[in-house]
């Protein structure tokens, strides 16, 4: 393979993927196969939109100026998205619980991958990301 370090280097496509994930999370309460009961659960909708906007915003920040706290925050937000159906009380909503568990797991995995890639980088190397 000519690019043996493909997963060893933080690439800008990962930031774009994070932005896309944030947009998908924001839209997830309105995905097909939802029970109609979710429309009355405003807390779940507000939580989902807030999480999606945070994931989107952090991914934009990573694209512009990479820092390690962004990956840690991404992991924590992804874990909260996984726990949200149980903590807020919409775990019986069926597909929304599955969507949030799956999307949260992808966010966590993306954050872990990015943190692993940036673990040994100096602050100067982090600032060069995307240039």
pLDDT tens readout for residues 1-46: 444 555 556 677 788 889 999 999 999 888 776 555 555 578 888 9
- Among all chains, which residue has been given the structure tokens 């909260």? 80
pLDDT tens readout for residues 53-82: 999 999 888 877 777 788 899 999 999 999
Q: Answer yes or no: pTM beyond 0.75.
A: yes
Distance from C-alpha of 36 to C-alpha of 95, rounded to nearest angstrom: 11
**Is there a contact between 128 and 120 (Cβ–Cβ < 8 Å)?**
no
Domain range list for the chain: 15-127
DSSP assignment of 29-80, as one string?
A: GGSTT--GGGGG-HHHHHHHHHHHHHHHHHHHHHHHS--HHHHHHHHHHHHH
Closest by Cα among 70, 90, 94 to 81: 90
Distance from C-alpha of 116 to C-alpha of 90, rounded to nearest angstrom: 33
Region for residue 89 given its phi and psi (left: phi exceeds 0; alpha: psi -120 to 50; beta: otherwise)? left
């Amino acid at each position: 393979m000519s690019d043996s370090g493909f997963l060893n280097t933080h690439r800008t496509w990962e930031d774009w993927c994070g932005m896309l994930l944030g947009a998908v999370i924001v839209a997830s309460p309105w995905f097909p196969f939802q029970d109609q009961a979710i429309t009355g659960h405003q807390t779940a909708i507000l939580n989902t939109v807030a999480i999606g906007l945070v994931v989107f915003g952090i991914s934009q920040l990573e694209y512009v100026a990479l820092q390690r706290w962004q990956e840690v925050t991404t992991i924590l937000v992804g874990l909260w998205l996984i726990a949200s159906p149980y903590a807020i009380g919409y775990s019986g909503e069926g597909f929304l619980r599955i969507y949030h568990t799956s999307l949260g797991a992808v966010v966590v995995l993306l954050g872990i991958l990015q943190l692993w890639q940036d673990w040994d980088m100096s602050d100067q190397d982090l600032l060069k990301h995307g240039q």
